Amino acid sequence: MMGVMRTIHRTPLLLLSLAALALSGCNAGSSSKPTAESAKPFLEEAEKKMYDLYLESAQASWIQSTYITDDSEALSAKANQRAIDYGVSLAKEAAKYNDVQLPPEERRKMDLLKRGLTLAAPADPKESQEVTKLAASLEATYGKGKYCKTPDKCLNIDQITDIMKKSRNADELLDVWKGWHTVSPPMKKDFQRFVELSNKGAKELGFADTGAMWRSKYDMTPDEFTKELDRLWGQVEPLYKSLHAYVRRKLVEKYGPKVVPPTGPIPAHLLGNIWAQDWSNVYDMVAPTGADPGYDLTKILVAKKTDAKQMVKYGEGFFTSLGFDPLPDSFWKRSLFVRPKDRDVVCHASAWDVDNDNDLRIKMCIQINEEDFTTIHHELGHNFYQRAYNKLPLIFRDSANDGFHEAIGDTIALSITPEYLVKLGFIQKAPDASKDIGLLMQRALEKVAFLPFGLMIDQWRWKVFSGEVKPEDYNKAWWELRQKYQGVSAPEDRPDAMFFDPGAKYHVPANVPYTRYFLAHILQFQFHRALSEAAGCPGTGATPLHRCSIYGSKEAGTKLNKMLSMGQSKPWQDALFEITGKKEMDATAIRDYFAPLQAWLDEQNKGQQIGW
């Protein structure tokens, strides 16, 4: 199964949201009073410069990722810096139009420019330079992080991840878990200052704090969005707690009640992942009896002598079966599919839209296995989304909200079912329903287990940005929220005077908003249910939702393309309506998808405490 957050995509407004990159300096800082007449030329010039800056940045970043040298890194950094230098000034210029009456399209463009920032640097040049340096330093500190047992014996994050995945020795797991969390205490002072400066910049844009600025991006007020998240979590919490109770019991059987409290939270180091955000790696300890589906997709791919390009061709074939046009020739010429033998590259899987038009690419070092087969389908979901909206005005060329892009890739991955493999000729027939609990358990350990973690990261940051959580309570609040939402506890006392555990998760020092991933996990199941209904799968009794693949359904493809082609030209609620017929996110689709597993868990959990 594919782990969460293994992929990224690059579009201009994603760059805008992550690092304020795709921006324009048109009229930045001008003293003339904004008017309805000046708005159109301002936006036209902004989009022109955004395109130029984005193209320069994307091309430099592609080279930096696929030809890693000191020179390529320097050129990429300079290209990004040129865009960053324009970022906040453009957002502030757009904010000057807040009270100007504008046509709907111009108003939406202004709002997107203003709300696109993740980091609003203060107007003071020295403070702006300071917060930019702090952002770079925090990310670099994380990137250099290692656990050194001795000066000559250090483990990097990949090695620690591998131990967390494979080891079943509680003492070894505790050792490497604690070891990784030594990378973050040096960040705390810089992070505290970063919060102060980023809040100052957000207030200059008219927001209460940086957290409020982030929550303003969702076509509703920050308070409304917070309530919406609470509602969605309430819909899925019972399923999560059932899974938690079952996994906890199995871990008690493995490690004993002295290590795992039978009725309490699960110690964070025992769930197969550094952050306990994805429990897929403990499947061998919790798998239902007789859950083997009877086939091994990795072995099938190897036996068919599948190469990297053919792996991608399978993914493209999924989309063409829905009625989408094939990928352009340039995709096949310019993408990176295999690790080169003559140079260093960044192998982290990613989807690219280099010229914001039709120069689509993926970058990954493909292995012939089930995980990468799934990842390819996910990545191409980004590419086909990027192409679907490439005729819109530039500012609208992004997903309806930041959860949609990831959700589309994962929606396609949900259609990699046994039935899909039958249609590809990989297996002769799908396994019978008795094998479904194992398949659903594997997916729940990835998808359902992630939900509270996806929610709590920004719950913590928003409290920090608002001042509700003070620096002296950073770690205390972190573990209180992890226990509240995840039912996961620190494996030892972690006092604030010694630790800064939030910094051990990349997205915190890198200042990357995290709620998008929670939303993506909600939306992908809602999308899958709607598209499956269009494909004629569920509701007939023959194919349950978790077995449905939309492969080959032109009806599902038409519905999907209609939504994708809207980009972010309309509020996300309108885009959601095009695919689901509803304007409200609905997590009941997750409950529908995992209904057989929920029933099985209810049986397994009889007489057991649910919750912690």
Which residue of the set 9, 181, 269, 382 is catalytic? 382
- Asked about 276 being catalytic, the answer comes back as no
How far is it, in rounded angstroms, from Cα 578 to Cα 566?
9
- Print the SS3 string covering 529-573: HHHHHHCCCCCCCCCCHHHCCCCCCHHHHHHHHHHHCCCCCCCHH
- Asked about 378 being catalytic, the answer comes back as yes
Among 516, 522, 458, 583, smallest CA distance to 239 is for 522
DSSP annotation of 167: -
Which residue of the set 56, 93, 379, 533 is catalytic? 379
How far is it, in rounded angstroms, from Cα 422 to Cα 427?
5
Which residue of the set 181, 378, 521, 528 is catalytic? 378
How far is it, in rounded angstroms, from Cα 189 to Cα 255?
37
- For the chain, the C-alpha Rg in angstroms (whole number) is 24
What ranges in 181-307 are assigned the alpha helix state H?
Answer: 188-204, 210-215, 222-255, 283-286, 297-303
Task: Give strand pairing partners of 148.
Answer: 154
- Asked about 406 being catalytic, the answer comes back as yes
Which residue of the set 370, 371, 507, 510 is catalytic? 507
What ranges in 389-473 are assigned the alpha helix state H?
Answer: 402-414, 418-423, 436-447, 450-466
- Asked about 382 being catalytic, the answer comes back as yes
Between the CA atoms of 158, 164, 165 and 170, what dihedral angle is there, to the nearest 10 degrees?
A: 160
Distance separating the N- and C-terminal Cα atoms of the chain: 28
Within 10 A of 288 (CB to CB), how many other CB atoms are there?
18
The total number of residues written for the chain in this structure: 612
Do residues 538 and 431 touch, judged by C-beta distance below 8 A?
Answer: no
- Asked about 507 being catalytic, the answer comes back as yes
How far is it, in rounded angstroms, from Cα 403 to Cα 455?
12
Instruction: Show Cβ contacts of residue 303 under 8 Å, excluding neighbours closer than 6 positions.
Output: none
- Asked about 517 being catalytic, the answer comes back as yes
How far is it, in rounded angstroms, from Cα 566 to Cα 142?
37
| Secondary-structure percent of the chain, ordered helix, strand, coil, rounded to 5 | 60, 5, 35
Residues known to be catalytic: 348-349, 378-379, 382, 406, 507, 517
